[in-house]
Amino acid sequence: MCKVIICDLDHADVEPEERVLAEAGYGFKWLRCKSQGEVIENCRGAVVLLNQYIKMDRVIFEALPSVKCVVRYGVGFDNIDLADATKHGVQACNVPDYCTNEVADQALAHIMSLLRKTTLSNNIIRRGVWDFQKLAPIPRLSDATVGICGLGRIGSALAQRLRPLCREAIAFDVEQGVAGRSFPDFVRFVTFAELLARSDVLSVHCPLNESSYHLFGKDEFFAMRDNAYFINVSRGGIVDEGALLDALRSGKIAGAALDVAESEPLSVDNPLLALDNFSVSPHSAWYSEQSAKDLKRKAAEEAVRFLRHGTVKYPVNTL
> What tens digit of pLDDT does each residue of 43-86 get?
999 999 999 999 999 999 999 999 999 999 999 999 999 999 99
Task: Find the helix or strand (DSSP H, E) in which 92 lies.
Answer: strand 91-93
Burial class of residue 82 (count of CB atoms within 10 Å of its CB; 0-12, 13-18, 19+): middle
SS3 of 248, please? helix
Measure the CA angle with vertex 122, ends 116 and 124; round to 5°: 105
Say if residues 72 and 92 touch (Cβ distance below 8 Å): yes
| Shared domain check, 127 and 270 | yes
Q: What pLDDT sits at residue 269?
A: 97
pLDDT, mean of residues 5-22: 96
Q: What pLDDT sits at residue 198?
A: 98
| Shared domain check, 93 and 104 | no
pTM of the predicted model, to two decimals?
0.91
Q: Which residues are catalytic?
A: 235, 264, 283
Backbone angles phi, psi at 101, to 5 degrees: -65, -40
Q: What pLDDT sits at residue 43?
A: 97
Quote the domain boundaries for residue 65.
Answer: 4-98+289-309
Say if residues 207 and 155 touch (Cβ distance below 8 Å): no
Q: What pLDDT sits at residue 138?
A: 97
Q: What pLDDT sits at residue 178?
A: 85
Query: Which residue from 198, 141, 190, 195 is spatially nearest to 164, judged by alpha carbons?
Result: 141
| Shared domain check, 304 and 272 | no
Query: Could you give the C-alpha distances from 29 to 15, 45, 74, 164, 220, in angstroms and in order?
Result: 12, 12, 20, 48, 46
| Shared domain check, 252 and 153 | yes
Tell me how far apart the alpha carbons of residues 292 and 130 are, in angstroms, rounded to a whole number.
39
pLDDT tens digits along 270-292: 999 999 999 999 999 999 999 99
| Shared domain check, 121 and 270 | yes
In-domain check, residue 316: no
Q: What pLDDT sits at residue 177?
A: 84
pLDDT tens digits along 150-162: 999 999 999 999 9
| Shared domain check, 107 and 89 | no
In-domain check, residue 319: no
Query: Could you give the C-alpha distances from 68 to 4, 81, 319, in angstroms and in order?
Result: 11, 14, 11
| Shared domain check, 120 and 27 | no
> How many domains, the chain?
2
CATH of the domain at 11: 3.40.50.720
| Residue 245 in this model has a pLDDT that exceeds 90 | yes
Query: Which residue from 13, 57, 52, 61 is spatially nearest to 33, judged by alpha carbons?
Result: 52
